[in-house]
């Protein structure tokens, strides 16, 4: 008996499962859908809500090609069939064909927007499929003609001799098909550094500002129209860590980072969309050499506590990606641009040297988000920062000065305590060491940017924007 296996195809997201079938003189048994085992292999945890079965009388029954508005897992309960799938989604693989002979040993995961069809090879075929939305007569399908000359499906039995419905024979040719657009991806946040990078990496996504969806107002989340939304990327957060230590700031931080995120997680469960959320190194106390995704949360200040609470809320969403990062640098004012400006003006700053970590560029966060969503990586928490030797903020400042052609010795070291001494406003505690393990994200096939190379490229882009 072969092991349970998963095969990728030329159609992105169309996956073939080789099932384990246990048989003897009495017949056979198989696990047609086994969530834990199959998602561990890489099958999306697609959340089926309906199981349908089609009985086909004679050999040669041919059905399709239908691109339905839901994901499904198709398989054979009895008999054999020739399966054909055509990508009808908008994009470079539009019109791509995959074929597979189906029997009790095989199942195929069909993502929404991919046309599904089959032709029975023997009498009495029982065709089974699990779907993650309830069938409705009002559901809109995209159809392709079974005899389309461009795709040219190699049907075992010529269609003139097959049992085909008049409706299926009347479907349009590929040139007449309007490609299926991805169901809506919503980016919460429109003007922040990360939101701008996400909008660039995911140009078809819809970015919404606080006027449309305000995380600080749970009623705003409840009122939002989630119909047709498959993915929500939350790029909004209260990130003013020192302000969060004040009375008003504490309320705002908890409202946006915790209460609002909990309401968003509730909406994800209710409406079945995938939730992408971004976490912070501030959920840790900075005492460990390296933090892994499974390490317990132990925040020091209000900002970190509110982010940790949001992380816990997101973790209960069945389809979630929690991307934990540190020292984020994007378009606009930030530590790197500040140091570059000081170098250009001849200022000799003292910079904190007792906080150690790695930079993360918003372009990397945007690209890893697209990577996780497009590859169907296992849901859960992923650390994402640049690679390279961990450095202090003072080390980063010296590298910026060097890249600006200024002697790096102009930057002197100071401690966090010395830097904040005499502050007239509350100062949030910072984790002293924010080094995140990258083993899990690199295992998905994503290669983070090297910190030194990324810093040089970032400053070059900043020069081009001037």
By annotation, the residues acting in catalysis are 66, 129
**Element of type H or E holding 17:** strand 15-18
**Two tokens, residue 212:** 């449309």
User: Phi and psi (nearest 5°) for 438?
Assistant: -110, 10
Cis check for the bond before 312: say yes or no (omega within 30 of 0): no
Question: What count of residues does the chain have?
Answer: 466
Task: Work out the number of other CB atoms within 10 angstroms of the CB of residue 26.
Answer: 6
**Two tokens, residue 131:** 């779907």
CA torsion through residues 411, 412, 414, 418, sign: negative
Angle at 32 (CA atoms; ends 28, 37), nearest 5 degrees: 115
**Two tokens, residue 320:** 């979630």
- For β-strands 62-67 and 97-102, DSSP reports them as unpaired
Question: How far lies 90's CA from each of 14, 32, 36, 180, 271, in Å?
Answer: 15, 30, 31, 5, 24
Q: In the 3-class helix/strand/coil scheme, how is 50-76 assigned residue by residue? A: EEEEEEECCCCEEEEEEECCCCEEEEE
Compute the distance between CA of residue 89 and CA of residue 178 in angstroms, rounded to an integer.
9
Compute the distance between CA of residue 90 and CA of residue 316 in angstroms, rounded to an integer.
32
Q: CB neighbours of 341 closer than 8 A, spacing ≥ 6?
A: none
* Residue 66 near residue 107, CB atoms below 8 Å: no
CA torsion through residues 288, 292, 297, 303, sign: positive
Compute the distance between CA of residue 306 and CA of residue 73 in angstroms, rounded to an integer.
39
């Amino acid at each position: 008996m072969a092991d349970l296996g998963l095969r990728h195809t030329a159609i992105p997201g169309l996956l073939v499962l080789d099932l384990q079938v246990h048989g003897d003189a009495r017949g056979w048994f198989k696990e047609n859908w086994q969530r834990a085992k199959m998602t561990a292999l890489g099958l999306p945890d697609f959340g089926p809500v309906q199981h349908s079965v089609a009985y086909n009388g004679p050999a040669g029954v041919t059905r399709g090609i239908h691109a339905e508005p839901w994901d499904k897992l198709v398989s054979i309960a009895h008999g054999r069939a020739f399966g054909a799938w055509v990508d009808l989604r908008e994009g470079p693989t539009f019109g791509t064909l995959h074929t597979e002979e189906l029997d009790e040993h095989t199942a195929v995961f069909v993502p929404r927007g991919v046309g599904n069809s089959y032709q029975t090879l023997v009498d009495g075929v029982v065709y089974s499929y699990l779907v993650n939305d309830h069938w409705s007569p009002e559901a809109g399908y995209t159809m392709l003609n079974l005899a389309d000359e461009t795709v040219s499906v190699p049907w075992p039995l010529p269609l003139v001799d097959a049992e085909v419905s008049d409706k299926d024979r009347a479907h349009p040719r590929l040139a007449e098909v309007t490609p299926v657009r991805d169901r809506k991806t919503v980016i919460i946040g429109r003007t922040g550094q990360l939101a701008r990078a996400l909008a660039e990496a995911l140009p078809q996504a819809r970015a919404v500002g606080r006027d449309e969806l305000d995380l600080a107002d749970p009623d705003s989340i409840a009122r939002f129209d989630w119909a047709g939304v498959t993915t929500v990327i939350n790029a909004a957060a209260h990130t003013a860590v020192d302000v969060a230590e004040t009375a008003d700031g504490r309320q705002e931080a908890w409202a946006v980072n915790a209460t609002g995120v909990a309401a968003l997680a509730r909406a994800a469960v209710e409406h079945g969309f995938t939730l992408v959320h971004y976490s912070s190194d501030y959920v840790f106390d900075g005492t460990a050499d390296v933090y892994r995704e499974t390490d317990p949360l132990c925040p020091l200040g209000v900002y970190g506590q509110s982010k940790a609470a949001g992380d816990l809320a997101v973790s209960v969403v069945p389809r979630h990606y929690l991307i934990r990062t540190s020292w984020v640098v994007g378009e606009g004012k930030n530590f790197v641009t500040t140091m570059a400006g000081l170098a250009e003006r001849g200022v000799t700053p003292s910079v904190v040297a007792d906080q150690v970590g790695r930079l993360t560029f918003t372009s990397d966060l945007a690209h890893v988000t697209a990577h996780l969503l497009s590859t169907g990586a296992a849901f859960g928490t992923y650390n994402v920062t640049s690679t390279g030797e961990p450095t202090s903020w003072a080390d980063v400042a010296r590298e910026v000065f060097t890249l600006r052609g200024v002697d790096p010795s102009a930057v002197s070291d100071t401690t966090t305590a010395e830097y904040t001494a005499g502050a007239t406003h509350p100062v949030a505690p910072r984790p002293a060491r924010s080094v995140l393990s990258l083993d899990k994200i690199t295992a998905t096939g994503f290669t983070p940017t090297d910190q030194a190379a990324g810093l040089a490229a970032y400053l070059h882009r900043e020069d081009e924007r001037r």
